Structure 1
Amino acid sequence: MPTHIRRIAALAVACAAAMPLASLAQNDTAKALADFVECKLSAEQVAQFNQKLDAEEFAGFAQSDDGGSAALMLWKSAQPVSAWGEKSAYINFPSRKEMHLAFKVPEGQEIKIGEALAARIGGMKPRPDLEAMKETYDWKGMDSRKPLGADKTVRVLVDVSYAPGWVTVGCGYGDAIQ
């Protein structure tokens, strides 16, 4: 067998062997993202998460332009993330201490779906200045929150004014959500 064919065959075998490892790494990434989004991390783990993000150690997780004109800072995971009873490959990452699962919904259904999600989580209340935002800025949407203790707050955010067709649910750590 010629040398170049042996090299190609060896490369194919190496790639096939590496595929399960890449898949495992992407599953680890999806799990880490879900834990962040579901408020399962400690302050120390949030700091470690950000160090890994800075070092680009999360396989299959990168910034994305898939949000189109939506005012969301979207990242995309190669493996879908399951959190708060929803599943999506998209993550809205507005700060180093706040991350939301972002999922597409039919335009015009955002608030209805967001309210159903907030009801399913239970105990959520609108942001204190929500009515003022609507009156002052003609903002359309919902922003419900539920403190979970230990400086963690779950949030359902629907911003019809700037991100139509999207619903987000996630967690803020520390003072990330005012």
Structure 2
Amino acid sequence: MSNYRNKILSVAALAVALAPILASAQDATAKRVADFVECKLSLEQVNAFGDELNAEQIKGLAQTDDGGDAALMLWKSAQPLSAWGEKSSYVNFPSRQEMHLAYKVPAGQELKVGEALAKRIGGMSPRPDLAAMIETYGWKGLDYRKVLPGEKTVRVLVDVSYAPGWVTVGCGYGDAIQ
């Protein structure tokens, strides 16, 4: 029994010793995600992030179905994320070069919250074909964009048709946002 107890104590001691390392890795991931969302990375850094994600080498970020019926590919961060003045533990990847912080808002408030966020960021305008999307497809939402230097585009997206109750804000690198 003493040998079993010693093994348990050894495992417990190892867990305690590794806790700061794991927390540090999660903090680093949260910072990288926030930098991605806020258009602070280079295209090379974004591509490296995507490669690490594909290889499941990123600690503290995991796919989740917490979005329910929303048509969002959500990932959940072990650490809360803060980007563009919003906080959430969820991010959405429309593509490997575009990432959005996704946060839940009360049903019916999505457009109001999205418009306020776009106004707070400043310099944003609707996508060029937004009126046609609404008229042709009956789409409900908003899609505001702001082009930044270095082939980066900030995007505020509210898609009440496919992701009710969610507002997303993020960045696309290169030609990720069409």
Q: TM-score, normalised by structure 1?
A: 0.98
State the Cα distance separating 1:48 from its structure 2 match: 1.2
State the Cα distance separating 1:55 from its structure 2 match: 2.0
Matched, 1:142 2:151: no
In structure 1, the partner of 2:30 is 30
- Number of matched residues? 178
**CA displacement 1:23-77 (0-9 Å, x = unmatched):** 1111111011111100011111111111211221211211110000101111111
Matched, 1:154 2:154: yes
Q: Secondary structure at the match of 1:69?
A: coil
- Tell me the distance in 2 between the aligned counterparts of 1:8 and 1:18: 15
- Tell me the distance in 1 between the aligned counterparts of 2:4 and 2:73: 45
Query: Which AA in structure 1 matches 2:66?
Result: D
Q: Percent identity?
A: 69
In structure 2, the partner of 1:61 is 61
Larger deviation, residues 16-25 vs 155-164: 16-25
Q: TM-score, normalised by structure 2?
A: 0.98
> What stretches of structure 1 move > 4 A for 4+ residues in a row?
none
Task: Return 5+ residue gaps in structure 1 as ranges.
Answer: none
- Tell me the distance in 2 between the aligned counterparts of 1:8 and 1:71: 44
- Tell me the distance in 2 between the aligned counterparts of 1:151 and 1:27: 27
In structure 2, the partner of 1:13 is 13
- Tell me the distance in 2 between the aligned counterparts of 1:170 and 1:127: 15
In structure 2, the partner of 1:108 is 108
CA RMSD of aligned residues (A): 0.9
Larger deviation, residues 132-141 vs 40-49: 40-49
Matched, 1:98 2:95: no
- Tell me the distance in 2 between the aligned counterparts of 1:152 and 1:4: 56
- Tell me the distance in 1 between the aligned counterparts of 2:166 and 2:54: 27
Task: Return 5+ residue gaps in structure 2 as ranges.
Answer: none
Query: Which AA in structure 2 matches 1:86?
Result: E
State the Cα distance separating 1:125 from its structure 2 match: 0.2
In structure 1, the partner of 2:49 is 49
In structure 2, the partner of 1:129 is 129
- Tell me the distance in 2 between the aligned counterparts of 1:146 and 1:38: 12
State the Cα distance separating 1:109 from its structure 2 match: 0.3
Q: Secondary structure at the match of 1:58?
A: coil
